[in-house]
Amino acid sequence: MKDSLRDRSKPRSRQMNRNPQPLFQPKQHDLPSINLQPMKTQIQLPILLLLLLQIACKQEVTDPLSTTYSPERSLKEAADFPVGLATQTWMLDMPQYSEILDTEFNSLTAEYEMKQNITHAGDGSYDWSATDQLLAYARDRDIRVHGHALLWHQAIAPWLEQFQGTDEAFADHVRTYIQEAVRRHADDVTSWDVVNEAFDDKGIWRNSLFLQRMGEDYVAQCFQWANEADSSVLLFYNDYGMIWDEDKLNAMLAMIDDFRNRGIAIHGVGLQMHIAYNWPNISHIQRAVDALVERDLLIHFSEVDIRVNPNGNRDHFTEKMAIDQQQRVEEIVHLYQSIPAHLQFGITFWGLRDTDSWLLGFWGNPDWPLLFDEQYRYKLAHKGFVEAL
Ligand code: G3I
């Protein structure tokens, strides 16, 4: 099923209902009828005005989706690049979820089920059941699958984490895993995040178990092993922070330049894009994108979510937040559009509904970071995406 990214015909997208009933009807805020008999005394008028003012205040927009938004185009119809979704296999069985997935997206990333702590958890044995389920779903719908992630310090198989053998034997287990994962899925997985988050927040090598046991060249080794297993699979480095931390960006660029000088295959970079409606400045994101374009690397906005409650001080989603998010999505997609077409690997959202987002548990605050609300209703953020194209 693998084909070159640029010439794949867009998968058949189910015909969008061009005039869909909005997925919700805005609540009708009916003002109570008021008997407007001419006031006889001065005192009643101020009371009436106060009453009207009170009613008007109570009519504050409580439903930020009160602006009726009926999408004209799906994300994948609007975009000339793949539009992806991070998913979990149990969600694929939910009819409303899969209906939207099939309509809006043409690329999938496993949010956690293709990581080593899931696929290789038993001492040496593999469990690809969730991976196979996701691949079958994607295959039936001509949806691309991006593999995430062969190596991540937060998802090491427990038996490998506790491995007491020599460093050489440890490295051999890593090589065996990488090559098994890449070879087994050569026909179904277009690309892999080979290593995720190898740099720490200061832009130096993260002191992970991989660094401790394999040394600073471990990332290069992993890319070489993956390329040996399948020379046609696209190999990515994936991380956060390069879009706001120049030290981290420069460290990653130095690594990539070293790979290129050594003839080590690397095809693209995943900029995770866990951002907020007001941060980081678009110029910092542009700086990272420009550096990758200079190096002719595929660019994946790989884990997009857009916090609208970054300070954790909001307890409900307002229309202003919805519009701020819409404008931020538009800004990000505009920037992505400026990337040369042959380097546009795609934009992947890290979850479908606001309530599916990892952010809620991670920060412990309410937030509404994605394109759909808890009831699968289209948010203005979706409008921001399609109207940027
Ligand atoms: O669904 C199972 C549930 O059945 C089980 O009872 C429960 C008990 O462990 O686990 C549930 O799975 C959890 C899964 O999220 C779904 O909620 C896993 O334990 C948990 O580890 C997993 O966390 C994921 C995390 O990566 C670790 O793999 C998050 O969903 C996912 O959003 C997060 O994604 C990472 C990227 O891979 C890399 N960039 C940062 C990003 C956020 O941390």
Our CA dihedral for 193, 196, 199, 202, rounded to 10 degrees, sits at 110
Contacts 24+ apart (CB under 8 A), 165-169: 167/213, 167/214
- The CA distance from 56 to 62, in Å, is 12
What is the residue with the minimal CA distance to atom 34 of ligand 1?
A: 111
Structure tokens at 239: 């991380």
pLDDT digits (tens, 9 = 90+) for 328-343: 999 999 999 999 999 9
Note the pLDDT of residue 69: 83
Note the pLDDT of residue 123: 73
Ligand 1 centroid to 187 CA: how many Å? 26
- Choosing from 358, 360, 367, 370 the residue with most ligand 1 atoms within 8 A of its CB, the one to mutate for a pocket test is 358
For residue 148, which atom of ligand 1 is closest to its CA? 37
What is the residue with the minimal CA distance to atom 32 of ligand 1?
A: 358
Ligand 1 centroid to 88 CA: how many Å? 9
pLDDT digits (tens, 9 = 90+) for 114-166: 999 999 998 779 999 999 999 999 999 999 999 999 999 999 999 999 999 99
User: What are the φ/ψ torsions at residue 372 (nearest 5 degrees)?
Assistant: -125, 150
Note the pLDDT of residue 49: 62
- Taking the CA of residue 116 as centre, how many other CA atoms within 13 Å lie in the half-sphere pointing to its CB? 30
Note the pLDDT of residue 122: 84
Low-confidence residues of the chain, pLDDT below 70? 1-68
For residue 357, which atom of ligand 1 is closest to its CA? 32
Our CA dihedral for 273, 198, 196, 114, rounded to 10 degrees, sits at -150
- Choosing from 93, 94, 111 the residue with most ligand 1 atoms within 8 A of its CB, the one to mutate for a pocket test is 111
- The CA distance from 307 to 318, in Å, is 13
Ligand 1 centroid to 131 CA: how many Å? 15
